[in-house]
Structure 1
Amino acid sequence: MKTSVESLDPVKVKLTVEVEPKRVKQAFDRAARELAKQVSLPGFRPGKAPRRLLEQRFGEGVIAQTAMENSLSDYYVEALRSEEIDAVAQPEVDVETFDEAEGCTFTATIEVRPSFDPPAHDGISVTFPEWDVDDEDVDEQLEQLRERFAEVDEVERAAQDGDLATLDLRVEVEGSELESARVEDALYEIGSQGVTPKLDEELVGKSAGDEFSYEDALPEEYPEHGGEQATFFVTVKDVREKTLPELDDDFAQTASGFDTLDELKRDLRNSLLRRRVEQAQHELRGRILEAYLARVDVPLPPSMVEADKQGRIHQLEHQAERFGIEVDQLFAMEETSREEFEANAQTQAEETVKAQLVLDALSSTLELDLQPGDIDQEIVRHAQSNGVSPQEIARVIQQQGSLPALVGDILRRKTIDAIVASAQVEGGPSDEVLIELGLLDDPDATEAGDTPDAEGERSDAEVADTPDAAAAEVDTEAAADEDADGARS
């Protein structure tokens, strides 16, 4: 076999392959034997019919076509390996010759990964995002806790702002009732603006047994007739007063396992602080990765971008199917349009593909090693994000043969860790604060032989595994995640 490669552009090459006649004749002979097994000719045992009779029966073209279909992909793969071509999509193949006497000559136009040197990953300087917690933040948490432990009692007076009311509600648009909007015995908090703002205004002053109607626009995100004028018919069944508990030690004991209000406040502050720090660490990783990727321009293979974009569109369609609604209704709920979504999907796909290419290039220079537990941890991570068992994710990976993609995902994560570790970060919590919050192992405890609890073993890499991680991390397991999502639903 002879091969040659011509570069057409940074992400496309033309591969020319010449296969000697001897190998092509072998392909013809194999094709003839294959066809012979499929027919029964008088006077010959199955599979033993001579080739000339097969040619008379099927025509020479059928044998040639079968030979080409059975062998061309093998020739192509062999040529890829010989030329060390990293193809990212199916090729466009043009067969010039496929003949026993002349051999085979074909060309393949192939999209490939661009060849480039990744930039150095040191020298990045960033500021740690805002992470502190003030008294107002703690007070807000306390108020939410008070709401959870509020006492609710039915009253005989007219409704006031902040009261709860049990309602029956139906909606008509142009005289036709919206069945999907009908509710009965719904407990509604006056002032929450949970239906339309005008409902809250109308409810103030109403008493149990009152019936009324009003005109207002349906919320824009409503699946049917969103934004259109409608008539709302309301029946008030009862009015309930909500009484919040006093903020004292008794409340702390009732609402938590703490003896005093100060202890409860301290715990709320630490819990909120931990979440803030985790969010800030995640945002920090995103800033560092963004700064690194900005150091290089990389030509993107169109097929990789399109595949990522279509994956996002398919995911949205699957989401709409799970909700039992049309995709356009989901767009309305998200306050966007198909055009806007596809434009955003295109941008996100380009960013994702660029990150994959750059991180893969850098990974190959860092000599990263996979540890024995890395694959198991990654499977658990995907299982947690999809709400299924690790065994289900492992089954999908095995079924799809996507273990190499999973390994690539792990190596990219480790590469991001290396970029983050080399960055100069200004500000942020001290090690003492991180240890206290359980976000950093205590070296003294480790030396003493203590084993940190699972909560405290969360590294920077793990912090990035939040729902918004797509902005900073690159995940190549979308296919496995989608199938796991389907198994869950």
Structure 2
Amino acid sequence: MPDPSEKDGELHFTAEVEVRPEIELPELSGLAVTVDAASVTDEDVAERLDALRERFGTLVGVDRPAKDGDFVVLDLKAEIDGDEIDSVSGVSYQIGSGTMLDGLDEALVGLSAGETTTFRSPLAGGEHEGKDSDITVTATQVKERDLPEADDDFAQLASEFDTLDELKDDLREQVKGIKTQNQVVAARDLLLEAILENLEVPVPQGVVEAEVHRHLESEGRLEDDAHRTEVTEETQKALRNQIVLDTLAEQLEVQVAQEELLEYLVQSSRQYGMDPNEFVQTIDQNGQIPAMVGEVARSKALAVALRRVEVKDSEGNVVDLSDLIGSDEADADAADADALADSAAASAVADAASEAASDAADETADKA
């Protein structure tokens, strides 16, 4: 270290930092993944049609014991060691939804309006969360969903189609689209698993420890060793995947187009319930744009990699996912469009600068 009183000299130091490990990915051409077939059955269409009918159905009271799928208006009271902990009244609950207490579905089946039963269950929330309590439940009403008849009249009511057959054809296309999208998701996950299968990826321990500490601190659970173990495993897995995808993106020379980044930012803003412009400004101010670009690049790297592996369905058919994962030609066109946009922007800036310089010169000449 130089003398602080002197104006010259050099400070020499050694810094030790953790870096992303160098890994060698397997040849993509040697990989293959198998996804479920996207064939659509009559049962798939019927299930979709029933779901649409339920949206237009009405609840009607019935004078019989409740069964799975029924809606029950109920009163609940929870006690621990004879002391009432909590109670609610007039709650509507569908049997089988599993959205309230463990054991509630079983307790309600066979219960008629006006009848009461008790069961034991751990509480799902509050200061006594997780503690076993005695639950008293009273069914005040039992209702079933009355569905409209599946006919041409219903098709006209629930859609833009005139006949039930036309509506069913549209529902069949919807189911096919959903199953095809599921094939893409499954193929991406399976491809990542195939890449990782025989690959040793050393994870920087310091990065893991820092992320685990940040996570536990945000939850106020720094002393929870069991939870620390769980979070550590999840963090190691996430970081390992990130390292592989970053390496894959570099090897495939993946470029993120402006339109792709914008689309990702808009989708992310919806997840946070924020205005897109406000969301973009926020992450820009926090210096998170590069991280967003990285996320898009990783996702795109898997899509590009899928174009280079064999994807088959469970029936042995080759699956064409190009409509959903794009093509190399489309990526090239997008890159060219971005280059043109950047060139146009640069040209506009140059023109503006030239015009300003010309005005300044004219102003100087006038003064002279």
**What TM-score, normalized by structure 1, do the two folds share?**
0.55
1:215 corresponds, among 108, 115, 118, to 118
Q: Which residue of 2 aligns with 1:65?
A: none
- Cα distance change, pair 364–388 in 1 and its aligned pair in 2 (3 A): same
Q: Which residue of 2 aligns with 1:228?
A: 132
Q: Which residue of 2 aligns with 1:264?
A: 167
Q: Which residue of 2 aligns with 1:245?
A: 148
Instruction: Please say which structure displays the higher CA radius of gyration.
Output: 1
- Cα distance change, pair 314–265 in 1 and its aligned pair in 2 (3 A): farther
- Cα distance change, pair 403–158 in 1 and its aligned pair in 2 (3 A): closer
Give the letter aligned to residue 187 of structure 1.
Answer: S
C-alpha displacement at 1:284, in angstroms? 0.2
Q: Which residue of 2 aligns with 1:379?
A: 265
* Residue segments in structure 1 that go unaligned for 5+ positions in a row: 1-18, 31-99, 318-325, 329-337, 447-489
Q: Distance in 2 between matches of 1:418 and 1:191?
A: 42
- Cα distance change, pair 266–312 in 1 and its aligned pair in 2 (3 A): farther
1:110 corresponds, among 17, 23, 28, to 17
Q: Distance in 2 between matches of 1:385 and 1:130?
A: 30
Give the letter aligned to residue 301 of structure 1.
Answer: P
Q: Which residue of 1 aligns with 2:305?
A: 419
Q: Which residue of 2 aligns with 1:34?
A: none
SS state at 1:111 partner: coil
Q: Contact 2:155/2:164 (CA < 8 Å) preserved in 1?
A: yes
Q: Distance in 1 between matches of 2:20 and 2:145?
A: 63
Q: Which residue of 2 aligns with 1:57?
A: none
- Cα distance change, pair 158–295 in 1 and its aligned pair in 2 (3 A): closer
C-alpha displacement at 1:302, in angstroms? 0.6
Q: Contact 2:73/2:90 (CA < 8 Å) preserved in 1?
A: yes
The percentage of aligned residue pairs carrying the same residue is: 31
Deviations 1:129-188 (A, max 9, x none): 333332222222222233332233446x45553654433333323222223xx2222234
Q: Distance in 2 between matches of 1:394 and 1:189?
A: 40
1:176 aligns with 2:62: no
- Cα distance change, pair 252–227 in 1 and its aligned pair in 2 (3 A): farther
C-alpha displacement at 1:112, in angstroms? 2.6
Give the letter aligned to residue 230 of structure 1.
Answer: D
1:166 corresponds, among 61, 69, 73, to 73
Deviations 1:361-408 (A, max 9, x none): 343344333434343233223223333232233223222223332333
Q: Distance in 1 between matches of 2:33 and 2:319?
A: 16
1:197 aligns with 2:105: yes
SS state at 1:262 partner: helix
Deviations 1:67-102 (A, max 9, x none): xxxxxxxxxxxxxxxxxxxxxxxxxxxxxxxxx99x
SS state at 1:145 partner: helix
SS state at 1:178 partner: strand
Q: Contact 1:252/1:261 (CA < 8 Å) preserved in 2?
A: yes
Q: Distance in 1 between matches of 2:298 and 2:95?
A: 50
Q: Contact 2:38/2:183 (CA < 8 Å) preserved in 1?
A: yes
Q: Distance in 2 between matches of 1:220 and 1:214?
A: 17
Q: Which residue of 2 aligns with 1:481?
A: none
1:290 aligns with 2:205: no
Query: Mapping of 1:61-460 within 5 angstroms?
Result: 106-154=13-61, 157-161=63-67, 164-179=71-86, 182-189=87-94, 196-201=104-109, 203-204=111-112, 206=113, 210=114, 212-219=115-122, 221=124, 224=128, 226=130, 228-234=132-138, 236=140, 238-240=141-143, 242-310=145-213, 313=216, 317=219, 341-427=227-313, 439=324
Q: Distance in 1 between matches of 2:215 and 2:29?
A: 33
SS state at 1:300 partner: coil
Q: Contact 1:150/1:242 (CA < 8 Å) preserved in 2?
A: yes
Q: Contact 1:172/1:230 (CA < 8 Å) preserved in 2?
A: yes
Deviations 1:101-124 (A, max 9, x none): 9x7554433323324444443321
C-alpha displacement at 1:232, in angstroms? 0.6
Q: Distance in 2 between matches of 1:388 and 1:148?
A: 28
SS state at 1:138 partner: helix
Give the letter aligned to residue 173 of structure 1.
Answer: I
Deviations 1:206-258 (A, max 9, x none): 3xxx3x5432012564553546241415262x454543222222222223232
Q: Which residue of 2 aligns with 1:3?
A: none
SS state at 1:263 partner: helix
SS state at 2:29 partner: coil
Q: Distance in 1 between matches of 2:66 and 2:297?
A: 59
Give the letter aligned to residue 312 of structure 2.
Answer: E
Q: Distance in 2 between matches of 1:258 and 1:424?
A: 39
* Residue segments in structure 2 that go unaligned for 5+ positions in a row: 331-368
- Residues matched between the structures, number: 319
- Cα distance change, pair 391–191 in 1 and its aligned pair in 2 (3 A): closer
**What TM-score, normalized by structure 2, do the two folds share?**
0.71
Q: Contact 1:191/1:200 (CA < 8 Å) preserved in 2?
A: no
